[in-house]
Chain A
């Protein structure tokens, strides 16, 4: 026990006196930045993909008619193309580890395109694209879970498919999947702990730095674990509160 308090003292001295706390704050900021912005990008991409994937298949036209009605046949091909592209995208990002995606973007794709961008920037991008693939599946389930009658009622009033989708179906879908989205956010927070692969300084980098300072890793890594747990608990509580607010349209009075 005595040796632990010694280790603790060492940790505190690096943290406070040698300015380690600045690293920790920077790391915490980056971790949150990557996860939050990644989630927002992911929700936007995921919703778009889901919306494309649940589009009703346009009527297949008989051979003759296909040429006769060009507008329709173009619509049909576009629909096929977008649906194909979306499943390719989802398959690609769900089929490879996120570390591999980070490395490929940072060391291969972006240099090839001549784009210079920081490690944090790449991480935000990759986690956004990656979570977009996962969220699209969640969102698709959410959209399909909304009663078909909701879309029908909107259409019967003369609203377009898109308007009804945005004003009626997607808000209900989001409410249905909120707990799952919360889990996705928690998963994101945890997964960001690999961004040091592309030189982004996150929580892991900060505590690793403190540990390397005097070759004493036990306390720093315990504290790091505690910070992650606290983050996850705070998010869980936040999601619960948000859910309760959105539930108000379900409550009987």
Chain B
């Protein structure tokens, strides 16, 4: 589904963070990326939906090189959900507005275009988005928080809502950047449970995480990144039980 070819990223200060990554993400893959701090995991994930512009290489998504700055990246991002470490819910919007905003805005704009298939009125789009948002909130058991503002929620609730906000766009792939790292320990489980359910439904997921348990249990591929390169990629069983790369061995011995 996504083909990453020789991806490189150098920041303005001349520091090369990603030093040539090749990777193919298949439909239904659940990839976990682990590695030491500063190894470029977040940067790589953010390059996948062009939150960071790659300085070299290609990201082929639906036969389009989305790393090329002349493509309309917004269109592609609508199919790639992203979940952040710090949730980033819109503070000025209620929970339901957070979830409805992007679908309503984008579908209304699309419906207005001449020759559009979507003949719904704005009211109908809003109503559909509302129903969908409530259904998603029901899934995570937070319907009663629909009209609450983010500042009134716990971290775990915020992150679960951030996940369904991304889901409201019906993405094909979900990118997670350490979704549980900013949470109190007792809230990690509820967020991981939502992610596990997503994985069961066959969502394609790329997850940067420090949760080795999640990687072992849910992933079908685990990737070890260090200093801007992929040093090892394997099934979770092989990866954790029979690591090859010496740096990975050292890393695992420290974290496990």
Contact = CB atoms under 8 A, between A and B. Distances in A.
Interface stretch (A77-85, A98-106, A234-242, A244-252): A244-252
Interface in B184-234: none
Interface string A170-201: 01100100000000000000000000000000
Interface string A149-164: 1101111111110010
Interface of A: 59, 69, 71-72, 147, 149-150, 152-160, 163, 167-168, 171-172, 175, 248-253
Given A59-B53, A159-B106, A249-B91, A149 B86 contact: yes
B105 A251 contact: no
B90 A250 contact: no
6 closest cross-chain pairs (CB), A and B: A158-B78, A153-B88, A149-B88, A156-B82, A157-B102, A158-B77
Contact of B77 (A59, A72, A155): A155
B90 A150 contact: yes
Interface stretch (B31-39, B112-120, B147-155): B147-155
B256 interface: no
18 contacts: A59-B53, A69-B69, A72-B69, A149-B86, A152-B51, A155-B77, A156-B77, A157-B78, A157-B102, A158-B77, A163-B105, A167-B90, A168-B90, A168-B92, A168-B93, A171-B92, A175-B92, A252-B152
Contacts, number: 87
B255 interface: no
User: Secondary structure at chain A's binding surface: helix, strand, loop or mixed?
Assistant: helix
Interface string B165-191: 110010000000000000000000000
Given A156-B51, A168-B90, 18 more contacts: A59-B69, A147-B86, A150-B88, A152-B51, A153-B84, A153-B89, A154-B102, A155-B51, A157-B166, A158-B74, A158-B78, A158-B106, A158-B169, A159-B74, A159-B105, A159-B106, A168-B93, A252-B152
Interface string B68-109: 011000111110111010111111110000000110011000
A69 B70 contact: yes
Interface residues of B, number: 34
Which among B89, B93, B102, B165 has the greatest number of chain A C-beta atoms within 10 A? B102
B111 to A, nearest CB: 15
